[in-house]
Amino acid sequence: EIVLTQSPGTLSLSPGDRATLSCRASQTITNNYLAWYQQKPGQSPRLLIYAASSRATGIPDRFSGTGSGTDFTLTISRLEPEDFAVFYCQQYGTTPWTFGQGTKVEIK
C-alpha cells in the first residue's frame, strides 16, 4: 500500500501567517488523486482539495494545493483563526486508499 508521510508534525504559527504543509508518497500517486482534509476536534474531516490542486466547493481561495507524482503541498496563504486544526492528506488513486498521519497547525 502507498504510505503517505506528512511534515512537519506540528506547525506553530500566528493568524495572518503563511502555512506550508507537505505530503510525500512512497510511490507515484495515480492520476495525482491526492486530497487534503481539515479536521477540528469532535468533527468529521472536511474536504479542502482534491486531485492535488482543485478546491472543493465552498473552500476559500487562501487554500491551495500543488504537486504531482510523489510530492504534494497544501498552502494556506494567510491563516484565519478558524483555520487552526489538523490537516490530512489522502491518496485515492490506488486501493487501499491511505492517509497521512496528519499535521497539526496550532496557534503560536
Partner 1 sequence: QVQLQESGPGLVKPSETLSLTCTVSGVSITISHWSWYRQTPGKGLEWIGYVLYSEGTNYNPSYMSRVTISLDTSKNQFSLNLNSVTAADSAVYYCEGYGGVWGPGTLVTVSS
Q: Which residues bind partner 1 (CB under 8 A)?
A: 1, 35, 43-47, 50, 56, 88, 90, 95-99, 101-102
What is the CA angle 45-32-85, rounded to 5? 25
CA distance 24 to 62: 22
Smallest gap from residue 6 Cβ to partner 1 (A):
10
| CB nearer partner 1, residue 17 or residue 24 | 24
Q: Which residue is it, cell 504559527?
A: 13
| CB nearer partner 1, residue 14 or residue 95 | 95
Residue of 31, 34, 103, 18 whose CA lies nearest to 66: 34
| CB nearer partner 1, residue 20 or residue 99 | 99
